[in-house]
Structures are given as structure tokens and as C-alpha cells.
């Protein structure tokens, strides 16, 4: 809860100070609109919230500050929709292809996820398919040890698609429940990176036609609108099925979660709220909004 303190300050507490001692008129609506826009909620979500607010004021459904506040809480929760957690389904192995640019917390998120799945009684293989950086393989090994997952790795510089393929084949042979594939976050060019991810995706399907069942994009909440742009780019290139939004602790830009939902419609499945192994939570819209408003 406390991990959202800065976002709460940036959105809800600013709205509260606008409402303080003012009657509900057009200038109040404008000021609220400005808060939403400048707190990364995004133009589409903001327009939806403000348009309905204006209508409700007009017909007398919203009369005072308290009405505005409770309207915002309800409307923002509605906007985020129902929880859509990452739950493995179907025949095993359940394959998660983890993608995202460097530094967003991809390796950490993979490690936290592996640790969670293992504590729930699943077996997990991590695939070190970011062969571009030797340090990435080492970092993933540390998380494999820490979580008790197996790791499939090749030499640094080898073909990432081959690593992914081997990991999925190994999982099939060993009856492993879950495979999480780490991928590069940066190559020489953006199109090279996307081509590599497409190839990994294709090669996985040669082993299991329905896999990867999840293409999970990891984005960093502290980057605000950049997180949204990254999600657009990755989604256009390879099709994202879910998002993990990291570093929500300590950022005022948590409003970006509304923009992601409204503008992309891709479910935010997980949120990162710290560096520790337990600091990855299922994203629950109701809890999220409650943490902002209560
Ligand atoms: P990668 O380059 O995307 O693999 O990023 P890393 O997993 O190496 O993470 C980069 C940094 O972000 C590390 O210092 C992590 O501990 C930190 N980090 C990752 N997730 C979170 C989070 O949810 N909250 C905080 N505060 N830090 C995080």
C-alpha cells in the first residue's frame, strides 16, 4: 500500500487540494483534468473521466467535493477493469517469453516469478536467451540458484532462438511445468531486436505450436509515457499478451497504468513494488485504486 504513496500524492492529493473549499464549477473540472494529464493517466483515460464527470455535474448527480472524489474512485477502478493475473493453463510446459528493454527490471521480474511459481509447487526452467550480454546470463544464473529453478544457457554470443528451443525441449523431456525465457533488451538496432524476438517466437512453436502461451512485456513505471510507447512498439512487432509494470514503489508516475489499460487494452498482470523476491504482486485494480484513495 505504502508503495503507492508518491502516485497518491501526485494524483489524489492534488485533486483533493483543488476541491478544498471550492464549489464544483468548470474551473474545478479544468484543474482536475490538468492533474490527470500531468500525472501520466493519458489523454484518452482523462477524456473519458472528465467527460462523464461533466455530464454527472450537469444532471446534478455530482454536487460537491465528496461526490467528485467518490466518482473518481469508482470511475478509475472501472477503467482498470477486472484482475487478469498470470495463471499457467493448459498442457505443460507453460511457456512465458519475457521481453522488454534493458534496465526495466526484466531479469528481476523473471527471478521473482520463478521464485513464486516454485513456492507454489511448480518446476521451472529459465532460458538465458539474452546471449548478447555475458552479464545477463550470469545474472539469470544467480536468480536460478536463488529460486531453485533450472537454467538452460549456451555460450555468450550464441543463437538466442536455439537457447529458447532447447529450454522448451528440455521442459518437455523432464515434465517441467513452466519455462521462462529471458531475451535481449537491446541489440544494435530496434529492428534487429524485434527480428530476433520474432525468430525466438517462431522457433519455440516448432517445439510446441501453442507456445509461448504468454508474451510478457516488462516496463518501468518510472519512465511514464516511455513505458506506454515501449508497449506500443513491442505489441506491434510481436504481440504482447500481458504486462509487468515494475518500480511502482518510489515513483509518482503510477498513473501510467490507466493509460496502458485505456490506450492499449493489454492487461497489466503484475506489478513490481520493490527489489526483494516477494515484491512482485498480482495487479488488482480494486486494491490499486483503494491504495490511492483510502
Ligand atoms: P533488466 O536490465 O531489465 O534485466 O533489469 P534488472 O532486472 O537488472 O533490474 C534493474 C534494476 O531495477 C535492479 O537494480 C533491480 O533491483 C531494480 N528493480 C527491478 N524491479 C524493481 C521494482 O519493482 N522496484 C524497485 N524499486 N526496483 C526494481
Q: Tens digits of per-residue pLDDT, 12-53?
A: 999 999 999 999 999 999 999 999 999 999 999 999 999 999
pLDDT in tens, 190-242: 899 999 999 999 999 999 999 999 999 999 999 999 999 999 999 999 999 99
When the pLDDT of each residue in the chain is averaged and rounded to a whole number, the result is 96
Using the mean position of ligand 1's atoms as its centre, give its distance from the Cα of residue 275 in Å: 6
3-class DSSP state of 87:
coil
Q: How far is Cα 275 from Cα 147, in angstroms, rounded to an integer? A: 15
In contact, 216 and 243? CB cutoff 8 Å = yes
pLDDT number for residue 187: 79
- Please name the helix (run of DSSP H) or strand (run of DSSP E) that holds residue 108, with its range, or none: helix 106-119
- For the chain, what's the residue count? 294
Give backbone dihedrals phi and psi of 208, rounded to 5 degrees, phi first: -135, 110
pLDDT number for residue 94: 98
Q: How far is Cα 61 from Cα 196, in angstroms, rounded to an integer? A: 54
Assigned C-alpha cell, 37: 494529464
Nearest to 227 by CA among 275, 173, 178, 263: 263
Does ipTM surpass 0.90 in this model? yes
pLDDT surpasses 80 at 185: yes
Using the mean position of ligand 1's atoms as its centre, give its distance from the Cα of residue 142 in Å: 14
In contact, 47 and 33? CB cutoff 8 Å = no
Q: Read off the pTM.
A: 0.96
Nearest to 137 by CA among 126, 148, 123, 122: 126
Q: How far is Cα 178 from Cα 125, in angstroms, rounded to an integer? A: 6
246 marked ligand binding residue: yes
pLDDT number for residue 41: 97
pLDDT in tens, 76-106: 999 999 999 999 999 999 999 999 999 999 9
284 marked ligand binding residue: no
Neighbours of 112 (CB within 10 A): 26
Higher pLDDT: 94 or 187? It is 94
If one residue of 6, 108, 135, 277 were mutated to test the ligand 1 pocket, choosing by the most ligand atoms within 8 A of its CB, it would be 108
273 — pLDDT class (breaks 50, 70, 90): very high
Q: What is the 3-state secondary structure (H, E, C) of 109-162?
A: HHHHHHHHHHHCCCCEEEEEECCCCHHHHHHHHHHHHHHCCEEECCCCCCCHHH
In contact, 257 and 265? CB cutoff 8 Å = no
Q: How far is Cα 106 from Cα 235, in angstroms, rounded to an integer? A: 17
Using the mean position of ligand 1's atoms as its centre, give its distance from the Cα of residue 278 in Å: 13
Amino acid at each position: 500500500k505504502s508503495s503507492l504513496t508518491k502516485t497518491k500524492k501526485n494524483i489524489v492529493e492534488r485533486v483533493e487540494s483543488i476541491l478544498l473549499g471550492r464549489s464544483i464549477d468548470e474551473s474545478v473540472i479544468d484543474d482536475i483534468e490538468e492533474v490527470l494529464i500531468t500525472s501520466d493517466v493519458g489523454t484518452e483515460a482523462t477524456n473519458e473521466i472528465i467527460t462523464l464527470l461533466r455530464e454527472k455535474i450537469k444532471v446534478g448527480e455530482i454536487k460537491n467535493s465528496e461526490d467528485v472524489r467518490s466518482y473518481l474512485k469508482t470511475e478509475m477502478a472501472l477503467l482498470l477493469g477486472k484482475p487478469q493475473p498470470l495463471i499457467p493453463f493448459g498442457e505443460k510446459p507453460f511457456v512465458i517469453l519475457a521481453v522488454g528493454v534493458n534496465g526495466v527490471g526484466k531479469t528481476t521480474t523473471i527471478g521473482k516469478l520463478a521464485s513464486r511459481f516454485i513456492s507454489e509447487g511448480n518446476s521451472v526452467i529459465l532460458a538465458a536467451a539474452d546471449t548478447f550480454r555475458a552479464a545477463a546470463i550470469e545474472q539469470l544464473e544467480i536468480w536460478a540458484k536463488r529460486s531453485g529453478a533450472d537454467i538452460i544457457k549456451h555460450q555468450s554470443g550464441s543463437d538466442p532462438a536455439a537457447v529458447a528451443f532447447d529450454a522448451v525441449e528440455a521442459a518437455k523431456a523432464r515434465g517441467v511445468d513452466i519455462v521462462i525465457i529471458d531475451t535481449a533488451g537491446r541489440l544494435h538496432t530496434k529492428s534487429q531486436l524485434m527480428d530476433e524476438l520474432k525468430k525466438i517466437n517462431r522457433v519455440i512453436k516448432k517445439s510446441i505450436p501453442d507456445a509461448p502461451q504468454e508474451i510478457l512485456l516488462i516496463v518501468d513505471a518510472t519512465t511514464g509515457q516511455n513505458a506506454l510507447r515501449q508497449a506500443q512498439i513491442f505489441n506491434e512487432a510481436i504481440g504482447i499478451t500481458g504486462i509487468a509494470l515494475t518500480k511502482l514503489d518510489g515513483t509518482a508516475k503510477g498513473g501510467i497504468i490507466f493509460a496502458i489499460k485505456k490506450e492499449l487494452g493489454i492487461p497489466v498482470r503484475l506489478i513490481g513494488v520493490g527489489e526483494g523476491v516477494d515484491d512482485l504482486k498480482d495487479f488488482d485494480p480494486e486494491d490499486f485504486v483503494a491504495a490511492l484513495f483510502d
